């Protein structure tokens, strides 16, 4: 029996993750859709993707702690073992947290929360699911343009994404013999519900315009397009690459 090709997208109920899930479904992938608290949004997106003609399996998971990450991994592994029509082709690590607290304002709890969701979860999810990934599969990590631009008020977040970039090229070397590519995409200022509060102000629009060589903010669909390319056969010879999707910010 030919198995159905699936992509796992974490943090897929909204924002960039939602656009990635929709685009990959349009490309022909069935979706393993991870969400944390937004059950209503996850179910709404599930119906939207099913209208495209693709299958969706929802998997809840809280990445704020080791216990939550382990519980998500256990549920996902169980599903991949028991449902023999599922073939995992692509993993997109999108879920994560940001902070705008300055260097002296971050406490232990916030530090741990960011590293759990942004670094520990992608690392251990990949480690635990790699046996299910197809030969010539894809791993795509969501990093950030802050890894090359100094924003002191986002130092800890930048540190987590720097770790993701290092994991990307190191894991690409580790998995290359299996034909698996590992890449990251580094968005800049993207118009999502999490940035709307400040971006949809006159000051926010001016800041986005001044940062970008293209004189505008990006859209979630533009990040999804890059993920789509890396997940496709057209991206088959690209690995270990951190793709800048900042619209030329701070060039």
Where do the domains of the chain lie? 4-244
CATH class of 4-244: alpha beta
Q: Per-block average pLDDT, block size 10, for the chain (251 residues)?
A: 84 96 97 96 98 97 98 97 92 92 91 97 98 96 95 92 98 97 95 72 79 91 98 97 95 90
Q: What is the pTM of this model?
A: 0.95
CB atoms within 10 A of CB 225: 15
**What pLDDT shows up at residue 2?**
52
φ, ψ for residue 207, nearest 5 deg? -65, -45
What whole-number distance in Å separates Cα of residue 15 and Cα of residue 36? 14
Q: Which of 6, 35, 123, 157 is catalytic?
A: 157
Name residue, tokens 């940001």.
Answer: 98
Q: 157 an active-site residue?
A: yes
CB atoms within 10 A of CB 99: 18
Which residues face 245 on adjacent strands? Answer: 187
């Amino acid at each position: 029996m030919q198995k159905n090709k699936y992509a796992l997208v974490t943090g897929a109920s909204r924002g960039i993750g939602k656009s990635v899930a929709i685009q990959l479904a349009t490309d022909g992938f069935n979706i393993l859709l991870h969400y944390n608290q937004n059950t209503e949004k996850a179910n709404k997106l599930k119906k939207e993707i099913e209208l495209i003609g693709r299958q969706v399996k929802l998997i809840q998971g809280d990445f704020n702690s080791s216990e939550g990450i382990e519980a998500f991994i256990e549920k996902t592994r169980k599903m991949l073992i028991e449902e023999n029509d599922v073939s995992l082709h692509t993993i997109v690590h999108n879920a994560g947290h940001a902070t705008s607290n300055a260097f002296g304002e971050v406490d232990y709890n916030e530090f741990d929360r960011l590293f759990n969701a942004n670094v520990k979860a992608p690392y251990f999810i990949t480690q635990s699911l790699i046996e299910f990934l197809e030969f010539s599969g894809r791993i795509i990590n969501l990093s950030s343009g802050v890894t090359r631009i100094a924003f002191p008020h986002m130092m800890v977040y930048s540190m987590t994404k720097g770790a993701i970039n290092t994991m990307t090229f190191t894991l690409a070397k580790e998995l290359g013999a299996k034909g698996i590519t590992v890449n990251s995409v580094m968005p800049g200022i993207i118009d999502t519900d999490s940035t709307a509060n400040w971006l949809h102000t006159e000051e926010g629009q001016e800041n986005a315009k001044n940062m970008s060589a293209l004189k505008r903010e990006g859209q979630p669909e533009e990040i999804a397009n890059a993920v789509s390319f890396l997940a496709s056969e057209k991206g088959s010879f690209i690995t270990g690459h951190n793709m800048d999707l900042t619209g030329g910010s701070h060039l």
